[in-house]
Amino acid sequence: MTAVAQSLRAHAAWHWWEFALIAALLVSWLLLPSQALLLNEIAILALFALSLDLILGYAGVVSLGHAAFFGIGSYAAALFAKLVMPDPLVGMVVAVAAAAASGALCSVLILRGTDLTRLMVTLGVASILYELANKLDWLTGGADGLQGVVMGPLLGRFEFDLGGRTAYAYTLAVLIACLLLARKLVHSPFGYSLQALRDNRLRAGSIGLSVNTRLVVVYTVAAAIAGAAGALLAQTSGFASLDVFEFHRSAEVLLVLVIGGTGYLYGGIFGAIVFKLLHDLISAWTPQYWNFWFGLFLVVLVLAGREKLMRPWTWFGSKA
């Protein structure tokens, strides 16, 4: 095999640490049954961050409203379980479809304009959805949220237990499935064309790539995955509330991804783990003012340099 073919092959090959990570995830279900609820939360957050990585890390679209699709997935799954049928997998499919459709629709909004325009539009959409969910309280429960979502057993056999073990297994399965799918995507020509789009939109068009089509596709896929994460939240916690659309949630997932690192697909998982642990640690100490430390962390992170965070060897002044 020629050097070029080898080089291209090497980029797509599985690295040892990818296997190790997935193995660790699976093992965590076996070995940490008492932490299943916490792990479930981490996994849902990781999935949400993974979906953001596709549009931010790979396609270069800065979104302040990604929670819109998370929320749509959440409410769609909750409403479906309450009003139609409680089967979790069917509900998941419905939620993902709803989120994907919304993503396709909204993708039109991010095609043109500057970074600020995109920021505003994504923020606007999430805000509109928040308002809608708030006002349509006969459907969504308004500010109280949609309560009493009782899920049927998974695959007809596994009941959702209070300890969260079934929930975590379910979430893990979805997370790993989406991870594998996303991996295929980013190593393919399509995935590289996204990166080209991110690095130099002008040149991407100049080598014959259709920029708009790609943006629509990746935005739809990212919305679908975010919707899956939202659906998991609703299904495993038994309710859906307005905060799924809140600005805070969009800001949080952005930070999670940035902590873990954008553009290599696993940043969402690492970031979710670090973030959740930090969050629980700090909230235990100062529950009311968690946001202050969250804010301080953001400020310090940006001033010191984002890319340095997950590379401790660069913390004390060395070559990048």
Binder of another protein out of 20, 27, 117, 180 (CB under 8 A)? 117
CB 227 within 8 A of CB 72: yes
**How near is the Cβ of 78 to another protein at its closest, in Å?**
22
Site for another protein in 143-182 (CB under 8 A): none
- Total residues at interface with another protein (CB under 8 A): 75
User: Which residues on adjacent β-strands are paired with residue 154?
Assistant: 158
Contact 161, 37 (CB under 8 A): no
Amino acid letter, 110:
I
- Residues near 275 by beta carbon (within 8 Å), at least 6 away in sequence: 45, 252, 255, 256, 259
From candidates 87, 190, 282, 314, binder to another protein by CB under 8 A: 190
Please tell me the distance from the alpha carbon of residue 210 to that of residue 193, in angstroms, as a whole number.
Answer: 9
Exposed/middle/buried for 235, CB within 10 Å: 0-12, 13-18, 19+? buried
Contact stretch for another protein (CB under 8 A) within 36-44, 114-122, 224-232, 269-277: 114-122
Task: Report if residue 9 touches another protein, rule: CB under 8 A.
Answer: yes
Torsion of CA 280, 283, 284, 286, to 10 degrees: 160
Question: Which one of the spans 3-11, 34-42, 72-80, 226-234 is the region binding another protein (CB under 8 A)?
Answer: 3-11
Q: Give dist(CA 189, CA 79) in Å, integer.
A: 38
Q: Which is nearer to another protein, 197 or 226 (CB)?
A: 197
> What's the gap between Cα 137 and its chain centre?
27
Q: Which of the residues 12 through 51 are near another protein (CB under 8 A)?
A: 12
Task: Find the binder of another protein among 5, 30, 83, 150 (CB under 8 A).
Answer: 5
Smaller CB separation from another protein, 64 or 273 = 64
Of the candidate spans 24-32, 157-165, 205-213, 227-235, the one that interacts with another protein by CB under 8 A turns out to be 205-213
Among positions 234-263, residues that touch another protein (CB under 8 A) are: 247, 251, 254-255, 258, 263
Write out the two tokens for 148: 């009493």
Q: Where are the alpha helices (DSSP H) in 161-262?
A: 165-187, 189-199, 201-206, 211-237, 247-260
- x/- track of binding to another protein for residues 57-76 (CB under 8 A): -----x-x------------
Among 56, 224, 228, 272, binds another protein (CB under 8 A): 56
Range list of β-strands (E), the chain: none
Shortest Å, Cβ 127 to another protein? 5
Q: Is 263 exposed, middle or buried (0-12, 13-18, 19+ CB in 10 A)?
A: middle
Work out whether 83 is an interface residue with another protein (CB under 8 A).
no
Interactions with another protein, residue window 296-315 (CB under 8 A): 296-299, 301-303, 306
Tell me which stretch binds another protein (CB under 8 A): 4-12, 30-38, 44-52, 163-171: 4-12
